């Protein structure tokens, strides 16, 4: 959702029943172009129960592209899923 120099990102979280394949968290990227090369910001959210974050410190009056992926930490190494479909949001 849109905000003043910020975006609130919500997603469907992993079900509690999936304990054997439980993820460690989520990685969210926002950028001002679809290739995620301009004004990119990456945020990590720990825990599988979280499903919302407010990303602040963005420029006002811009359209931002957002994508998300999950990660799982195993023996100190992170394994990432594929990126989600890209969504857009606008700051004011």
How far out from the chain centre does Cα 1 lie?
13
| Per-position b or e across 38-68, b if 16+ CB within 10 A of its CB | eeebeeebeebeeeebebeebeeeeebbbbb
51 pLDDT above the threshold of 70: yes
Which 3 state secondary structure label does DSSP give 1?
coil
Token digits of residue 19: 């304990």
Tell me the whole-structure pTM to 2 decimals: 0.87
Q: For the chain, list the strands marked E by DSSP.
A: 2-3, 6-10, 25-31, 41-46, 52-56, 63-74, 77-80, 87-90
pLDDT tens sequence across 6-45: 999 999 887 766 665 788 999 999 999 999 999 999 999 9
């Amino acid at each position: 959702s849109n905000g003043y120099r910020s975006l609130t990102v919500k997603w469907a979280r992993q079900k509690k029943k999936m304990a054997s394949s439980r993820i460690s968290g989520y990685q969210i990227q926002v950028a001002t172009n679809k290739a995620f090369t301009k004004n990119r910001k990456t945020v990590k959210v720990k825990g599988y129960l979280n499903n919302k974050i407010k990303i602040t410190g963005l420029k006002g009056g811009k359209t931002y592209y957002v994508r998300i992926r999950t990660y799982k930490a195993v023996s100190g190494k992170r394994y990432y899923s594929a990126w989600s479909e890209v969504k857009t949001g606008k700051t004011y």
